[in-house]
Amino acid sequence: MTIDASLDAVPPPAPVASPIASLLTAPILPTLLRLAIPNMIAMVGSTLVAIAETSYIGRLGTIPLAAIALVFPFAMLTQMMSAGAMGGGVSSAISRALGAGDRTRAATLALHAAIIGLCGGLFFTVTMLFFGRSFFTLLGGRERVLEEASGYSQMLFSGAVAIWLVNTLASVIRGTGDMRLPSMALIGTSVLQIALGGTLGLGLFGVPQFGMPGVAAGQLIAFTCAAIFLLWYLWSGRSRLPLDFRAFHFDRALFFDILKVGAVACLSPLQTVLTILIFTKILATFGTEMLAGYGIGSRLEFLLIPITFAFGIASVPMVGMAMGAGQVKRARRVAWTAAAASGITVGLIGVVIALDPSLWVSLFTRDPGVAAAAHSYFHWAGPTFVFFGMGVSLYFSSQGAARVGGPVLASTARLLIVAIGGGALMMAQAPAWTLFALVGGAMAVFGLSTAASVALVRWGK
């Protein structure tokens, strides 16, 4: 009897918190860093793909290089919409359902997300196959450049469904708080894309040289393999959110739960691409040196995107789960912590480069005119990188809270400032440095307006 009593007195072991539940209780900054680092590594892989493909195409000649410049904005738009905009809507809806403890809803949302990914990919395929050539002509493509751009685009966008599926399914998994598996899948995709793109495009190892379509085929094959892997992973029950295709049923409310965030968020990357195209067009009137100098500056911005994306996308499941659980104060703390981490990291780089632009510029050119233009760009725009980092991170956090309207309007303000202000400066024949100051001012407006929208808009019911 004594032994039985002593055994009864022993308290039962405490339940082990699941990885999903821990996102509602774990310390915010360490958890953000743990979630952000895998995303940062995956984004670096994507950057290496861009560098490798540019190198391959450069070996094919000047005309292919000009052709890829025509296709790049549309390829970038596809990735930004599927991964950041609609992908954020997917992660937001799933994480909010999990935070509320409704795993059945979360699993059904994942299947609805896959349907949205299929439709998004088909939209880009049909649009670019039928109208791509017209788009490239409007951007100035002529003769052989137009032919090369069309050939590359037709191959690339025939596989747009695979690109959308990969980014959508990766967002499903990220919505559960698992950042490692999607990052590993994207890194593997990058490695495969580099290997296949070089082999097929340049004709390595005895393979026939397919040129530009061969480089695009490398991306198509790599993303198709990744889509098959992610579908298998989710269906096999190995993920934190196993899928049951047999129990699936259409529910318009679930589509709306994703699209009310993702569809509105898609306006932001569209505005970003328009901003780049408009500013590049305006700056081209100031001469080749100014355009080349801006190109060197924008290349650094491109390399900083992985930092802002990593912190932002890491905040989505933390904010979403907190909102689903009714922990609005924690959701806001996550958003501001991520914004501070992103803004400080990117801002420090911007300040250092603004103080000594040669640290970056000397890596790319020794031409005094181009270097002077790049120095001017960094002196004016570099100190405002902090607002860019903060704004992008808060854009993603707002997706987690399903309150993305404010950040999208902030992106609209940036577009209008660049378009209207740049046009006015061009007509007034103002010096080029005023355009760079305009870019910096537009970044500041974007970041501060996004922060104001998060501070002023009520989160939750």
Is the per-residue pLDDT at 9 higher than 70? no
Q: Which residues contact 458 (CB under 8 A, 6 or more apart)?
A: none
Is the per-residue pLDDT at 237 higher than 50? yes
Contact 377, 425 (CB under 8 A): no
Handedness of CA 65, 142, 288, 348 (dihedral sign): negative
How far apart CA 32 and CA 311 sit, in angstroms, is 7
Contact 197, 52 (CB under 8 A): yes
Contact 117, 100 (CB under 8 A): no
Contact 113, 176 (CB under 8 A): no
How far apart CA 185 and CA 171 sit, in angstroms, is 12
Mean pLDDT across 196-215 = 89
Write the pLDDT tens digit of every residue in 263-275.
999 998 888 888 8
Write the pLDDT tens digit of every residue in 117-159.
999 999 999 999 999 999 888 877 788 888 988 999 999 999 9
How far apart CA 212 and CA 219 sit, in angstroms, is 11
Q: Which residue has the higher pLDDT, 271 or 243?
A: 271
DSSP assignment of 230-298: HHHHHHTT-SSS---GGG----HHHHHHHHHHHHHHTHHHHHHHHHHHHHHHHHHTT-HHHHHHHHHHH
Residues 178-215 as b or e (16 or more Cβ within 10 Å = b): bbebbbebbbbbbebbbebbbbbbbeeeeeeebbbbbb
Q: What is the predicted pLDDT for the residue at 14?
A: 38
Token pair for 145: 């450049």
Q: Which residues contact 33 (CB under 8 A, 6 or more apart)?
A: 341
pLDDT band for position 5 (cuts 50, 70, 90)? very low
Where is mean pLDDT largest: 54-68, 291-305, 360-374, 408-422? 408-422
Cα dihedral 382/387/391/393 (nearest 10)? 70
Tell me how far CA of residue 408 lies from CA of 248, 270, 436, 450, in angstroms. Answer: 33, 10, 23, 8
Contact 198, 117 (CB under 8 A): no
Plot region of 206 (φ>0 → left; ψ -120 to 50 → alpha; else → beta): left
- Least confident range from 107-111, 233-237, 255-259, 338-342: namely 233-237
Q: Which residues contact 95 (CB under 8 A, 6 or more apart)?
A: 175, 176, 177, 316, 317, 318, 319, 320, 321, 324, 400
Is the per-residue pLDDT at 175 higher than 50? yes
DSSP assignment of 199-211: HHHHTGGG-----
Q: What is the predicted pLDDT for the residue at 251?
A: 87
pLDDT band for position 8 (cuts 50, 70, 90)? very low
Looking at the chain, the whole-number percentage of residues with pLDDT higher than 90 is 56
Burial group, residue 11, by CB count within 10 angstroms (0-12, 13-18, 19+): exposed
Q: What is the predicted pLDDT for the residue at 10?
A: 42
Residues 246-260 as b or e (16 or more Cβ within 10 Å = b): eeeeeeeebbebbbb
CA angle 260, 261, 266 (to 5 degrees): 110
* 158 CA to centre of own chain: 21
Q: What is the predicted pLDDT for the residue at 120?
A: 95
How far apart CA 206 and CA 209 sit, in angstroms, is 9
How far apart CA 329 and CA 336 sit, in angstroms, is 11
